[in-house]
Structure 1
Amino acid sequence: MAGLLKWLALAMGTACAGIGVLHFALGIDSVPGEAAAGATVDSRERFYGAVFLGYGLAWIWAARQTPIPARVVRWLAGIFLLGGLGRLLSMAVHGSPQWFQTALTVVELALPPLYFWLAAADERAVAARPSPRRAERVLP
């Protein structure tokens, strides 16, 4: 499970960091159907791009830890889930967005439960392993 969690966390971090760089660099041109939105939306898009870059880097940091900190994975996955719930709220208020945004909503709602499950499984596996400190106490 640890290998799968590490791989998925690295993939998530790389994807989010890349998306953040893209949105930061392109502004509103990175969002389908928003090219004419104006300076205010472009400014917001570039700001969110920087935040999403940082979010991706947090995933990469977590994936590089040994063991991967389950609490951090849960927080990051929870934030991702909250983003998907925000998209659902937007759909309820404003209707269906461009098709790619709908596809992203599915990903944002489907992946967090997988991360929650993997983090819990990895946490249990780490707890079950004998630690060097426990072994030292047992030795005479």
Structure 2
Amino acid sequence: MARTLRALTQLMGWACVLIGAVHVALGNAAIPGAGSAGTTVDSWGRFMGASFVGYGLAWLWAARQRPVPARAVRWLAGVFLLGGAGRLLSLALHGRPQWFQIPLMVIELGLPPVFFWLADAEERALRDSAETVPAGRRMRTD
């Protein structure tokens, strides 16, 4: 479980950093259907891209910890889930967006429960192994 959680956390971090950097660099061109949205949307998109880079760096920070902090993973996954819920709300209020937004929404709603499950399983495994390690011995969590 620890390797799976670490690998998925790293993948999430690098994906967010890359996606955010593309949005900073390309502005409206990075948003399907927003090419002619104007300077306000371009400014907002680049700002949100930079924020997404920071979000990705938080995932990468979590992946580098030994053990991966389950609480941080749950918070980060919760933010991702909130983004998917926002897309779902937009779908309900305004109708179908550009087609690519639908698979993104599915990922944003489907992946957080996987992170919640992995974080909980890893936390339980650490707690159980800590109870069985003799005093004075360090446990390995890799």
1:4-53 CA-to-partner distances (Å, cap 9, x unmatched) read 00000000000000000000110011011110000000000000000000
1:46-96 CA-to-partner distances (Å, cap 9, x unmatched) read 000000000001001101100000000000000000000000000011100
Please report how far the alpha carbon of residue 97 of structure 1 lies from its aligned counterpart in structure 2 after TM superposition: 0.4
TM-score normalized by the length of structure 1:
0.94
**Percent identical:** 61
SS in 2 for 1:47: helix
Which 4+ residue blocks in structure 1 deviate beyond 6 angstroms? none
Cα distance in 2 for partners of 1:130, 1:45 equals: 45
AA partner of residue 25 (structure 1): A
Determine if the alignment matches structure 1 residue 17 to structure 2 residue 17: yes
SS in 1 for 2:33: coil
- Which residue in the other structure is 2:42 paired with? 42
TM-align CA RMSD:
1.5
SS in 1 for 2:9: helix
- Which residue in the other structure is 1:4 paired with? 4
Cα distance in 2 for partners of 1:78, 1:64 equals: 20
Cα distance in 2 for partners of 1:130, 1:83 equals: 35
Aligned length: 136
Determine if the alignment matches structure 1 residue 126 to structure 2 residue 132: no
Determine if the alignment matches structure 1 residue 51 to structure 2 residue 51: yes
Could you tell me which runs of 5 or more consecutive residues in structure 2 were left unpaired when the two chains were aligned: 138-142
TM-score normalized by the length of structure 2:
0.92
Please report how far the alpha carbon of residue 136 of structure 1 lies from its aligned counterpart in structure 2 after TM superposition: 2.8
Could you tell me which runs of 5 or more consecutive residues in structure 1 were left unpaired when the two chains were aligned: none
SS in 2 for 1:33: coil
